[in-house]
Every structure is written in structure tokens, then in C-alpha cells.
Structure 1
């Protein structure tokens, strides 16, 4: 299963259902370049995620951090963390294992051995070192889960549960020390609130003050948040989001570039064309012809 069109709600929460028929688990292969936007856009989900790179190299952003992952690298992304991925090699392929935190261990063990770790603010992500035995063990288990789902053999669900228990044990025993900061929690909550507001109002006239107000911040603090966490300005993020929203509209039969520009919040078709060309290396009309 390859997800090529990421759908997120107004809070950037991914809407994809990460599960097999009977379990809240999904394991699938993803080629970043095949995504409808040519990259994996910023999103989050409640599931914990393991990314095992099979080919190429990608730049993955998790909250405010960025790291390059190349062939053979395995990355853990914690529950609720904003993340995105951009292909650095034009052929990056990775296995993605998503698991509901409540399915990692029996419910009686959740409060002691799962909840503190998915709530930890010092661990948005972690590169798993395959030269360490525990890192190699986790990678081997991810590959085994992929095989089990594909083969669908008798009692494979029980085998998957065993592998997940082993993965989580290896991770919390070796991977990190727990830290919790209310300041970090508040920071990312405000960031999601501002992104949520942009996603609800992008087609309207939007000012920096509007975005800052959504996060209960001053204009300067708002800019600092965006620069630190997303490596961009609030207005540049707004423009990029408008451009992303224009892509499916341009693919509609009979759509008009000027009409699309106004629908996604640009008050000038020439400005829309300029920003689109800078981002996509082609004009909106060329993109429309290519996709239709």
C-alpha cells in the first residue's frame, strides 16, 4: 500500500487510517516522489512511527529539528509530533510502520511503559543505530512485521503483537531517558493553533497579526516560533499552503488559473504565477497541462 495523497484536517492531523483489517497497525512502502505534492507535507498523527529507508536519501523534519536519513537508516517518530519529508535523491523509498500507542502493550502496562514515553518532550524522534544490537533488533522486527502482513499466514496477528512488544521493549530500555517540559508542550500547542488558523482562513485576507493572535503571541514572538520550528516566516508558510491548495484545483477540468489564484487567497494572478513558478519550477498553466 502506497499513500500518494496525504489528507490532513484543519489541525494538520493526518486523516489516513493506519491499520490492517483487524489491528491498529499499518506497514507500507512509500516513494516520496510519487506523492501528489512531490513530498510528504507537514502533518501529525497519534500513532508512533518507524521509518526504514530502503533507497535514496530524504530530509525529514520533526517538530523544529531536521535530519537527513539515507539508505539503511531507521527513524522513530513519536506520537503527536509534526513531521514532513522531502526527497534529496529523487528516488527515496522507505518502509513506514505506524502503530497506535494503545496497541504496543497490554492496557494494564500502558500507564507505566507507554504513556510516559509518548508524553516525553525530549524525544520527538530518534535515529536507531543498526550497529547497536538493540537498533538492529528493531529493524529486523520491522521487516518481520512487513513480511507477516504481506503473507497473512495463520495466527500472523499474534506474531505481530509479539514483534511490537519486543520493539517497544528494545526502544524504551535502550533508546532514551525521559524528560518532560510543560514549556515545550505549550510551545507546540501554540504552533498547532496558528497552523490550524491558517488552514481554516488561507483563502481570506490574512495578516501577520491574525496569525499571531491565533497563537496568543505578539507579532515578533509569532515570527520567532515559525523560524525556530518550521524554518520559515508565517507569511511564507501561508503562501506555500495556498500553493499546495491550488494544486488539486488546477487539475480540475475547465479550471482557470486566475480563478484558482483568487480561490486560494491570492489577490493577484501575476503574484500567484510568480510564487508558483518559484516553488514548482513551472507556471500554473504548465502544471495544469502536465496533470490533465
Structure 2
């Protein structure tokens, strides 16, 4: 299984014309995650709504953890740093992801001004947890199940009906008081913003020579402070994260291209082939050639 430590989804689900997806996620024997479900810390510009149907989960939203039981629903605002993990064993949940901009109207009617525009501007946000008995629960659960059926079938006109369901969902959340003003406190927002700035810098420039000082400038803080808060959030230093990310990109190139190991090491920001080989073996237990041979049956110098 590939390392999912870099689950920073900068792309989108669905297509440009239909930016929406409903995923059924499972863990347990016979699945891609036999031990437990884990979506490591990441963010994206989509709204995500999780409906937990089996197993207990912990969801971290901007570094704050919340527990979820079967039947409960988690709402993740666009841009929120989050992590999802089940308890060991079998689990299942639905994940609805959509670009919130698809809700916008060109005509500034009451719906646009009162519900959609504040949400898109970040002035309001979805509440993080809805449980059975809450006013929003039944309409929200009903909309999720309807969206699951529409997405699975994808019959004629499914996307139009799906957008109508999303508007119904938004209206239900508004009526139930589940759309709330966005808090403006400094922390953990400041730490989250700096973490995201560093990760974005690494993703955009990993092929270049990057120093700790450059990463600190991206975060707007000193190198010492960067190392402290980055380790607290991610469990590694920024430089360790950079090396690990480069190795993941190298693994992808080893699988997908016929480029030599030297070419791949240079393309991924390693200026020393011997250092690349050491780091690759340390993190994968294999040499680059052995990894390629196992993954593809090919080998290059």
C-alpha cells in the first residue's frame, strides 16, 4: 500500500463540469485498509460530509479532535485541516465531497445573500457534528442517502437533481441553526495556516533546493519556531517531511516512467544520488531498482 502521509488533496473530486463525489469507505479484512481506516492530515477546497455507519471514529478538525459513533455525521468546511481515523477493525462511512462554488447563483437573491455568499466568503461555516435528535439530522441524512443513490446510478439528469439535493441540504442546515459565524481566534488558526503554507511550499518546490530558512520564510516565522510547531502537528521536522515527500514522488516516477534512478533522484530534488539511495532504502526497505522491479517488473540503471 502506498504511503498516504501526504494526503493534501489539491485536486478535486468528480469533474470540472460535475465537481462532486459520494464515496463509500471501508476498513477491515479484505479491504485496502485491513487494520483500520485512516485518512492522514490533509485539506482541500471542497466541503466534505461524513456519515459514519459502522465503527467508531475520531476526526481531527484544525487540530481539535471529536469522537463519532455509528449514525453520527461530521461536516468539514472547505480548507479545514482534517484527519479521519477509525478504531481498529471493520468500519464503514459515506463521504460526500463537493466544490461549494457550485451552489452559487449569478442573481443575488435571498438564498445567495443569506446562505451561499457568506459560506463561500468564509463568514459562516457548517457546524462540525450532527447527531440523531438534532433538528438538522433527518434532512441531512436523507439528503446524503439520496445523493449516494444519484451518484451511484448517474442516470439522465442526475447532476441537476444532485445540485437540488445540495440546496435542500443547505436550507435544512440554515433552518436548524447549523450554519454559524466563523470564529476569528488566532489559534489554532495561526498554526494551521503556517503548517499549510509550509506543506504547500514543499509540494510546489520539492524538486528545487529547499532550505529550512526558505520554509520558515514561507511560514512567516523563525526556523526554530517552525521546527517546534511543525513537529507538534506532523510528528516530523519540516526537512524530514520534505525528504519523505520527495521519496513518495520518486516512487511514483519509478512506477510510471522508464527514467533512470539518477534522473529520478535529480527530478525529485536530491543533488546526491548516494543520499537518495540511502534515504529511499531507509524509508522503504528496498533500493530504488528493487522497488521498481517489484512494482513493475522493470529495471533501469
Q: How many angstroms apart in 2 are the aligned matches of 1:186 and 1:39?
A: 25
Contact 1:75-1:128 at 8 Å conserved across structures: yes
Q: State yes or no: 1:16 paired with 2:12.
A: yes
Match of 1:216 in 2: 220
Q: Does residue 24 of structure 2 align to residue 29 of structure 1?
A: yes
| Structure 1, 23-32 or 203-212: larger mean CA deviation | 23-32
Correspondences of 1:217-232 after superposition (within 5 Å): 217-227=221-231, 229-232=233-236
Does residue 95 of structure 2 align to residue 96 of structure 1? yes
Asked if residue 48 in structure 1 is aligned to residue 47 in structure 2, the reply is yes
Residue deviations 1:247-292, cap 9 Å, x none?
2123146566676455434541223311334xxxx66566434422
Structure with larger Rg: 2
Mapped to 1, the partners of 2:224 and 2:181 lie a distance apart of 32
Alpha-carbon shift at residue 244 of structure 1 (Å): 2.0
Report the number of matched residues: 279
CA distance in 1, matches of 2:126, 2:287: 37
Q: How does 1:1-292 map to 2 (within 5 A)?
A: 12=8, 14-19=10-15, 23-30=18-25, 34=32, 40=39, 43-55=42-54, 60-67=59-66, 71-85=70-84, 89=88, 92-104=91-103, 106=105, 107-108=108-109, 109-117=111-119, 119=121, 126-152=128-154, 156-157=158-159, 159-172=161-174, 173-175=176-178, 177-181=180-184, 183=186, 188-227=192-231, 229-252=233-256, 260-261=264-265, 263-266=267-270, 267=272, 268=275, 269-277=277-285, 287-292=291-296
**Quick check: 1:62–1:124 contact (8 Å CA) kept in 2?**
no
Task: Tell me the CA shift for residue 55 of structure 1.
Answer: 4.7
The more displaced of 53-62 and 104-113 is 53-62
Whole-angstrom distance in 1 between the partners of 2:233 and 2:122: 18
Q: Quick one: distance in 2 between partners of 1:228 and 1:124?
A: 27
In 2, Cα distance between equivalents of 1:182 and 1:189: 12
- Partner Cα distance (2:14, 2:121) in 1: 20
Coordinate RMSD, CA, aligned: 4.1
By how many angstroms is 1:161 displaced? Answer: 3.8
Distance 2:145 2:239 in 1: 42
Does the C-alpha gap of structure 1 residues 30 and 166 become closer, same or farther in structure 2, counting only changes over 3 Å? same
* Range with greater deviation from structure 2 (70-79 or 57-66): 57-66
Q: Secondary structure at the match of 2:181?
A: coil
Q: Report how far residue 222 of structure 1 moved.
A: 1.8
Q: 1:271 to 1:27 in 2, by over 3 A?
A: closer
Deviation readout 1:147-174 (Å, 9 max, x if unpaired): 1333456665554344322322333433
| Structure with larger RCO (C-alpha < 8 A, sep 6+) | 1
1:5-63 deviation per Cα after TM superposition (whole angstroms, max 9, x unaligned) = 99x9xxx5522353585x5433233458759xx96565433321112234556654443
What TM-score do the two structures reach when normalised by structure 1? 0.72
Report which stretch shifted further, 262-271 or 193-202. Answer: 262-271
SS of 2:50's partner is: strand
The Cα of 1:73 is off from its aligned counterpart by 3.9
Unaligned runs of 5+ in 1: none
Moved over 6 A (4+): none
CA distance in 2, matches of 1:31, 1:81: 23
